[in-house]
Structure 1
Amino acid sequence: MNNSLQLDIPKRGMPVTIITGFLGSGKTTLINQILQNKQNLKVAILVNEFGDINIDSQLLVDINDNMLELSNGCICCTINDGLVDAVYQILERDEKIDYLIIETTGLADPLPIMLTFLGTDLKDLTYLDSVLTLVDCENFTPDHFDSEAAIKQIVYGDIILLNKTDLVSQDRVDDLESYIKTVNNAARILRSEYSKIPFYLILDVNLSKLQPYLIEDKNYQYELQRKTQNHLINDGFTSISFRSERPFSMLKFQHNFLEELPENIFRAKGILWFQESESKHIFQLSGKRYDLQVEEWLTTPTNQLVLIGRDLNPLMIQQSLTNCLTV
């Protein structure tokens, strides 16, 4: 099946797809699939990272002037001059952009982001095509780390992509789909491995169903913003960033860090430099599962790592990582 982007986009403003999903669900991998198969379509990517190192933007392929970063915060927490300004930067470019994709943080509530497009002047210049929520079939549970954001990503998703189906049994996927239907029976539910999905099923689908919400009610928007600003506090999640101009010892990183990793770290990702290797290592951890991919360095080697979890001890984690560095 041809997976390339060949969309018949109507002239009704720039279409927007919001890609969301809990920590480690495969959002960046999906965006890379789109970028690698977009052909002549001009796609802009807006990446939001929870932390002050934007790892995701460094993992995207084919990055150029059509990628913008919104770092060190969750764009759902402030309705949101930063998001509006970033979209206007895209709209005002000399070269017309055909499609905008927003990758939220894994801890985002998508509703305020949706309302930013439907309750501001952007509604006359863009249209919200859909909210696509990825679900990690291996790690997702109905009480997913007791996170209200994880459930809201399901509730407001127009498309739910059950990802990483290769890591679990068919019965597990069926049970997960049945549960999701009890939360959001109107969503289109799809299944994938490695975030691979035909793009005609997820882009230019006109599935957004937000119209019933009170998007023009300023009091409603204010109250929504007030509640949403507390969701990270309610969930208890924090991020820790680590940088170093010295390489790690591979043995120390394995034994002193990975094998001693606290259970309250749910997600980690980074670009790692090991003394024993001339290659760049892309590190991804989701739950208890981690992966290292090898690439060639195209920049000066450095270590950049972001860890996300609940009730973390920053000093202890920073010291643990520092102890893994070479002298």
Structure 2
Amino acid sequence: MSARRLPFTVIGGFLGAGKTTLLNRWLREAKGLRMAVLVNDFGALNIDADLIAATHGDTTALTNGCVCCQIGDDLGRALVEVIEAKTPFDAVVIEASGVSDPWRIAQIGMAAPELSLEGVIVLVDASVAARQSTDPLLADTLARQLKSADLVVLNKADIASADALAAAKAWVEASAPGTPCIETTEAAVPLALLSGLPQSALAPHACGPDCDHDHDHDHGSPDHGAIFQTWSAQPGAMIPAATLRAWLREMPPGVLRLKGLLRTGHGAGGDEWSEVQYAGRHGSLRKAAPPSGLASAGVVAIGLQGQLPEKMLKEFFAA
């Protein structure tokens, strides 16, 4: 069986788009999740004071078990320290600087076999995006950030005029056609969307083996229940790995995030299990150890409220 790789997510976006707001939100929501956040500049992050347990040099330990580390000039070294930490982490989040290409940072992480890229999320300030995109000094940088995104977050939608919001949407679609795009206020993106949460944290709750109804959780924020919708199921049947891979390549529109642990074959030593992942535009399937204890197969999908294709999800996992 392949050893579990540490999932990592890259957050990109221009200066002022809301990356710091998103990171602080995720740190607040990370109850029980050990997350390592790598940033370029501690001063810009402004971690909420009541979360800080201790600060040692370039590392700040938080009261919830998470840590924030300043990258400095060597992202590779910072990632090695996270990978080799005595107490293992559940997920890594890297904040790209406001003018950098998040895909280049993702490639550095992908070079480490111990890491698994969950996705690249790029934030855009919807109130000024149209104006910035026509600035000859910024246009190339902003377009490059968008092209690397698995998910684009049009943030500050509440302060953008209707014309500015429409222009921002048109620019995103022209620069990154087909990339999922959501509108938010104060970076209200749930941690479960692109965070590398362990399967136990995403598993369906209070369901029997044939559960296939949706769970509209708020993910710890009053904003999330109105924006995002979650569907989960515990498929009882074996789903061949080849069938799953083909389905991932043709994922129904409206699924922003999907994760599961499923029976995908029969071998000489018993059932074969796989972890299925889908984020933004990309899906993957990796061999995994069978669930322990009373746990069973489970899959969770997240999408925008009213846009999650529940019928198609139910039909596929029930077939």
How has the CA–CA distance of structure 1 residues 39 and 180 changed in structure 2, closer, same or farther, with 3 Å as cutoff? same
Q: Which amino acid aligns with 1:180?
A: V
- CA offset digits 1:195-219 (Å, max 9, x no partner): 11233333344427689xxxxxxxx
Q: How big is the shift at 1:139?
A: 1.7
CA distance in 1 between partners of 2:136 and 2:153 (Å): 19
| Structure with the higher helix share, 1 or 2 | 1
1:187-202 aligned at under 5 Å gives the runs 187-202=179-194
Q: Which residue of 2 aligns with 1:129?
A: 118
2:143 counterpart SS class: helix
Q: How big is the shift at 1:21?
A: 0.3
Alignment counterpart, residue 176 of structure 2, candidates 175, 184, 188: 184
Alignment counterpart, residue 137 of structure 2, candidates 143, 146, 150: 146
Alignment counterpart, residue 56 of structure 1, candidates 44, 53, 58: 44
CA RMSD of aligned residues (A): 2.4
Kept after mapping to 1: 8 A contact 2:103/2:120: no
- CA offset digits 1:220-265 (Å, max 9, x no partner): xxxxxxxxxxxxxxxxxxxxxxxxxxxxxxxxxxxxxxxxxxxxxx
1:200 counterpart SS class: coil
How has the CA–CA distance of structure 1 residues 149 and 210 changed in structure 2, closer, same or farther, with 3 Å as cutoff? farther
1:46 counterpart SS class: strand
Q: Which residue of 2 aligns with 1:68?
A: 69
2:129 counterpart SS class: coil
Q: How big is the shift at 1:184?
A: 0.8
Q: Which amino acid aligns with 1:56?
A: A
Q: Which amino acid aligns with 2:34?
A: K
Kept after mapping to 1: 8 A contact 2:154/2:184: yes
Q: How big is the shift at 1:45?
A: 0.4
Kept after mapping to 2: 8 A contact 1:158/1:186: no
How has the CA–CA distance of structure 1 residues 101 and 129 changed in structure 2, closer, same or farther, with 3 Å as cutoff? same
Kept after mapping to 1: 8 A contact 2:122/2:146: yes
Q: How big is the shift at 1:59?
A: 3.6
CA distance in 2 between partners of 1:105 and 1:136 (Å): 15
Is 1:114 the counterpart of 2:103? The answer is no
2:177 counterpart SS class: coil
CA distance in 2 between partners of 1:112 and 1:129 (Å): 15
CA distance in 1 between partners of 2:71 and 2:135 (Å): 26
Alignment counterpart, residue 101 of structure 1, candidates 93, 98, 118: 93
Is 1:47 the counterpart of 2:39? The answer is yes
Q: Which residue of 2 aligns with 1:207?
A: 279
Q: Which residue of 1 aligns with 2:260?
A: none
CA distance in 2 between partners of 1:11 and 1:190 (Å): 34
- CA offset digits 1:28-59 (Å, max 9, x no partner): 0000000011110001100014xxxx412444
Q: Which residue of 2 aligns with 1:254?
A: none
How has the CA–CA distance of structure 1 residues 145 and 39 changed in structure 2, closer, same or farther, with 3 Å as cutoff? farther
CA distance in 1 between partners of 2:190 and 2:280 (Å): 19
Q: Which residue of 1 aligns with 2:28?
A: 36
Kept after mapping to 2: 8 A contact 1:31/1:60: no
Is 1:157 the counterpart of 2:229? The answer is no
2:144 counterpart SS class: helix
CA distance in 1 between partners of 2:282 and 2:135 (Å): 25
Q: How big is the shift at 1:138?
A: 1.3
CA distance in 1 between partners of 2:151 and 2:280 (Å): 9
CA distance in 2 between partners of 1:102 and 1:127 (Å): 13
Q: Which residue of 2 aligns with 1:172?
A: 164
Kept after mapping to 2: 8 A contact 1:144/1:150: no
Q: Which amino acid aligns with 1:47?
A: V
Q: Which amino acid aligns with 1:30?
A: L
CA distance in 1 between partners of 2:136 and 2:43 (Å): 23
Q: How big is the shift at 1:165?
A: 0.6
Deviates more, 1:29-38 or 1:197-206: 197-206
1:177 counterpart SS class: helix
**Structure 1 alignment gaps of length 5 or more:** 1-9, 74-81, 212-327
Is 1:26 the counterpart of 2:27? The answer is no
How has the CA–CA distance of structure 1 residues 29 and 183 changed in structure 2, closer, same or farther, with 3 Å as cutoff? same
- CA offset digits 1:263-293 (Å, max 9, x no partner): xxxxxxxxxxxxxxxxxxxxxxxxxxxxxxx
CA distance in 2 between partners of 1:197 and 1:126 (Å): 23
| TM-score of the aligned structures, taking structure 1 as reference length | 0.52
